[in-house]
């Protein structure tokens, strides 16, 4: 059950993460990071780590985008 929940959270966080790659929408990445943290927590309780991996990749993209935009833009 946690595996499915983690994958769903990761996929739901990926959609706004793509939207947040546009200029002046970098603030969306803060919400994406919060969602990914919840997905990582759920994904860490499973044997198969696909949900954990999805959430970590989305979080890495969001963190890189925030780094490039200075944390806000």
Residue pLDDT, tens place only, 19-67: 998 888 888 999 999 999 999 999 999 899 999 999 999 999 999 999 9
Question: Among 57, 50, 46, 35, which Cα is nearest to 2's?
Answer: 46
Q: Packing angle between helix 2-19 and helix 50-69, nearest 10 degrees? A: 20
- Name the band, by pLDDT with cuts 50, 70 and 90, for residue 70: confident
Q: What pTM was estimated for this model as a whole?
A: 0.90
pLDDT at 6: 95
Under 8 Å between Cβ of 26 and 66: yes
pLDDT at 2: 92
Question: Among 25, 23, 3, 19, which Cα is nearest to 55's?
Answer: 3
The domains of the chain are located at 2-69
């Amino acid at each position: 059950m946690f595996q499915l929940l983690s994958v769903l959270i990761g996929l739901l966080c990926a959609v706004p993460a793509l939207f947040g790659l546009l200029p002046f929408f970098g603030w969306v990445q803060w919400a994406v990071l919060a969602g990914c943290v919840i997905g990582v927590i759920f994904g860490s309780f499973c044997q198969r780590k696909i949900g954990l991996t999805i959430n970590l990749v989305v979080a890495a993209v969001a963190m890189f985008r925030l780094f490039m935009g200075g944390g806000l833009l």
